[in-house]
Amino acid sequence: MSTSSNITLIMLYLIPLIILSCTKLAFATNFNRDFHILWGNDRGTILNNGKVLMLSLDEHSGSGFQSHSAYIFTRIDVQIKLISGNSAGTVTAFYLGSEGDKRDEIDIEFLGNLTGDPYTLHTNVYTKGEGSREQQFHLWFDPTSSFHTIYVDGKPIRVFRNLESIGVPYMNDVPMKMYATLWNGDQWATRGGTIKTNWTEAPFKAWFRNYKGRGCVWLNGNQSDCSLGRSKTVKHDWYKQKELDLSSQEMLKWVQRNYMVHNYCNDHNRFPNGLPLECAH
């Protein structure tokens, strides 16, 4: 979710977590070993000896899965193939979240659409239980024709900075687990809920593969072995990253200039008493 205490990068390829401390380095490479189906009964299935996970949705239920481990910081890579054809009303979500009412969460949700119309990539950030930080994008490729990575295919889409110094809560003191769900959101997901799910085309299916998590796992609240600056297990430079490099900054500007369709920091109707503090930075 964040590579350091200074920046959170929301990507479809790189989703690092806050660095605090932990007890071991994790390399998650097998869905059978590192995840379990959270809900939906047999609508979620792990295939190909743990290399592929499929979620499905029908008119009775969707499905979801969850990581066994909670992370204090990590880099997560995963490839996703979305529902093809008429996917209106469906929501395929990939997110990291903590437990409790005042949760921290990073949401990446793919909002389905009618055949031929683009998916909407919906992102949100919760800190200490407060969200309402939505940014939305239209993708510049067909995410249903093949598997794609989250950064989206090498391009960062969003940054959330640590601005605790001006009173903005940040995600830096609780571990998060990784989740993915496929569910019916036709009350809001497609054109504000005006386009409903066509159940004659169910079951809808989304696919996940090539999952890798590299970072530190939170175990029993122990904070002794893997804090920033002391860890000998974390050997990748990404965990020290405090800013995007110049090339990534330019890619971020290109994505936001050409494909962003909603930004909460421009939504004066939603925030009539003033935009959130972080919008000025």
| Catalytic residue numbers, as ranges | 105, 109
The residues pairing with 123 across neighbouring beta strands, listed in sequence order, are: 108, 135
The residues pairing with 91 across neighbouring beta strands, listed in sequence order, are: 111, 183
Q: Do 84 and 98 touch, CB atoms closer than 8 A?
A: no
Q: Which residues of 76-114 are buried (b: 16+ CB within 10 A; e: fewer)?
A: bbbbbbbbeebbbbbbbbbbbbbeeeebbbbbbbbbbbe
Q: Which two tokens stand for residue 215?
A: 């970072």
Q: Do 240 and 111 touch, CB atoms closer than 8 A?
A: no
